[in-house]
Chain A
Amino acid sequence: MIFMTLTIYSRDLLVIGNQDFPENNLTIQEIRAIFLDKKRFIQEEKILVMNYAFQDPLRQCFEKNILEKRERTLERYWRRAYYFGKRPPKIVSSVEMLFSYLQRVHPSIGYCDSNVIENRKVRILYRIGCDF
């Protein structure tokens, strides 16, 4: 049973913020709004939002389970958003880069595999299961 629980958690995707992120947790609607540039401030402070490259399996899981949008739909969304002056989340090339930004920029938000969270000074804002 313990083994099973660990296995399930090891496949979780965690939405994480910097250690003193102003909220203790976020709803899936709030996360969607933040990652689609519809909610940009939290307690009067602008949020740095981070994402991974297109091919990253974590991103595919995030888009399917949290944003609930297809890749084609998101590509179209950001092309159109760019025309209106909006910018997509900052692309980070690795989890290390994500943690580095989370440490330096407040408030900031991203997501990672639950396996890499140990001993990291971050705040877990949302957890969802993923098939990596």
Chain B
Amino acid sequence: MYKNIYYILLISSGTLFANEESSYGWNLPDTSINVGGYLDMTYDTKREESFLFNDIAVLFSANKNRFDLLAEIELSHISLDGKSNSSSDIDLHLERLQLNYTLNDKQSIEIGRFNSDIGYWNQAPIPILQETTSRPHIVGNFFPKLITGILFRQSINEHNTFSITFQDNMDIAHQERFIQVNRHKTFSYFGTYGDFSWRFSAGKYRDSRNKNVIYRGIGSEYEGEKLSFQVELFRQNSDKKHEKPYSGYLQSTWHFKDKQDAVIRFEKYKDNEIEIEEQIYLFGYTYRPTNNTVLKAEYIYHTKLPLNHYLYSFSVLF
């Protein structure tokens, strides 16, 4: 146990004082190759393995002319209670592998395995990039988190962008916990105006059981000096038995001190597949001692399911 903590501190210490955004990662001298990553540790009062390394990920990026390559290899689920006693508990996998080609200032094409361009949360799906450690119910339940396919992105002007994605093949890596699909089409629009932004996303996928699903969602974000808000609402249609009529959340972040935030999230969802309609309330505190580290504590209260728990985390981007 103490040995594990020692290793954590050793890994983290080199990155704790990095305050400039350009200090992320390590740049191979005289090349465009950058190697970095992130790690997340959590302590969950409800989980059997309460103290867990959720993710240790290595990010590799490089570019040449108009091509950009990005790879993410992730090692997840390492118990720090000594409960991950066999290699089968630990999961090493390719999270993302994407090649981007910039056609011009307004258009780009992406191929490979990449984050679905759907909703707000999925654009920053790791704890270091979010104000809370836990994710809203929408994530992982309404659309596939990742796509193995091709994406075309068009910027209409400085404030408006849309993208279209196609997948007509199996995933190139396994997707534990998330929706498995072999066909997926999406459309996504993103707009901004000052401190406000908004998103509209819609898509259709066929999962590994050959079930056809249609989903659509809207969301908006406001980033103010003292307060920020994020709201998303999704609906999913398939056969009646598996339908998810709605899932939405409203998250408010109060930047009450430099580097310290208080977060409240209210969620409500209905899921016919597990026959439940409930609300989830979250109360959280976030402290960012440096630009690339974050400590979080939150309490999550479910109105129906017996899943109330405290969750603590420490995340580093390096």
A binding-site residues for B, Cβ under 8 Å:
29, 32-33, 38-41, 46, 53-54, 70, 72-76, 78-80, 82-85, 87-91
A82 contacts B21, CB within 8 Å? yes
Residues of A within 8 A of B126 (CB): 83
A80 contacts B123, CB within 8 Å? yes
B225 contacts A79, CB within 8 Å? no
Out of A46, A70, A90, which one reaches B225, CB within 8 Å? Answer: A70
Residues of B within 8 A of A74 (CB): 21
A82 contacts B36, CB within 8 Å? yes
B20 contacts A91, CB within 8 Å? yes
21 contacts between A and B (CB under 8 A): A32-B158, A33-B105, A38-B105, A41-B66, A46-B65, A70-B223, A72-B255, A75-B21, A76-B129, A79-B292, A79-B317, A80-B123, A82-B21, A82-B25, A82-B36, A83-B38, A83-B317, A85-B34, A85-B63, A85-B69, A87-B34
Return the chain A residue nearest B66 by Cβ. A41
Residues of B within 8 A of A40 (CB): 102
Given A38-B105, A53-B20, A76-B129; 13 other pairs, CB 8 A cutoff: A41-B105, A54-B19, A70-B225, A73-B223, A79-B292, A80-B123, A80-B124, A80-B129, A83-B124, A85-B100, A87-B34, A87-B61, A88-B21
Interface residues on B, range: 20 to 34
Question: Which one of A39, A53, A79, A88 has the greatest number of beta carbons of chain B within 10 Å?
Answer: A79
B68 within 8 A of A: yes
Return the chain B residue nearest A28 by Cβ. B158
Rank and list the top 4 A-B pairs by shortest CB-CB distance, nearest first.
Answer: A85-B70, A85-B61, A78-B21, A88-B21
Return the chain B residue nearest A72 by Cβ. B255
How far is B18's CA from A33's CA once the two chains are assembled, in angstroms?
26
B291 within 8 A of A: yes
A54 contacts B20, CB within 8 Å? yes
Residues of A within 8 A of B21 (CB): 74-75, 78-79, 82, 88
How far is B74's CA from A83's CA once the two chains are assembled, in angstroms?
13
B binding-site residues for A, Cβ under 8 Å:
19-22, 24-25, 34, 36, 38, 59, 61, 63, 65-66, 68-70, 100, 102, 105, 123-124, 126, 128-129, 155, 158, 223, 225, 255, 291-292, 317
Residues of B within 8 A of A70 (CB): 223, 225
Return the chain A residue nearest B292 by Cβ. A79
B22 contacts A91, CB within 8 Å? yes
Residues of A within 8 A of B155 (CB): 38
Question: Which one of B22, B36, B100 has the greatest number of beta carbons of chain A within 10 Å?
Answer: B22
Return the chain A residue nearest B68 by Cβ. A85
How far is B23's CA from A78's CA once the two chains are assembled, in angstroms?
11
Return the chain B residue nearest A78 by Cβ. B21
How far is B21's CA from A91's CA once the two chains are assembled, in angstroms?
9
How far is B317's CA from A39's CA once the two chains are assembled, in angstroms?
25
Residues of B within 8 A of A82 (CB): 21, 24-25, 36, 59, 317
